[in-house]
Amino acid sequence: MTEREGAVTFQGNPLTLVGDEPAVGDAPRAFTVLANDLSEVSLASLHGRVCVLATVPSLDTPVCDTEARRFNQAAAALGEDVAVLAVSMDLPFAQARWCGAAGVRNVRSLSDHRDAAAGEALGVLIQELRLLARAVFVLDREGVIRYKQIVPELTDEPDYDAALAVARDLAGS
């Protein structure tokens, strides 16, 4: 498994990302995560729709909260052909509780807590914390990455406009 020391920072402190980082134009390695009802969701099950896949350290933190709410607002205008997902290591029950309290209904929260499979497949698993780095991937209908941003500093927000523009273009909206 690939390790990238200093690939991201948390409050300026370098952290190591683990996993095989796919490039734009690649399809990520297959993975399965858990929905809030504990059902399994595979990456392959998302094919057929454009997918905005945001990985976050924890939904219940200020920057992740802001990010999920921002994507939730944008998702409402993207249409049914675009799935917007927030993947974290939070337990599915905590994700469901947070989404309910925050009124987030247009972003589907998924948990990678069981196997860290998404984190490893996307190259965003933080070795020192066993959390996911802040990143955004936009996948086309065939599951190929068409946009990728791994945010260098965990306390910074991603480039929403760039990711959403690619998603809108791929969806034809």
Query: Which residues have a catalytic role annotated?
Result: 64
Segment holding 42, helix H or strand E:
strand 40-42
Q: Are 8 and 152 in contact (CB under 8 A)?
A: yes
CA distance 131 to 137: 17
> Do the strands 13-18 and 125-126 form a parallel or antiparallel pair, or are they unpaired?
antiparallel
120 touches 111 (CB < 8 A) = no
How many Cα atoms occupy the beta-carbon half-sphere of 15 within 13 Å? 26
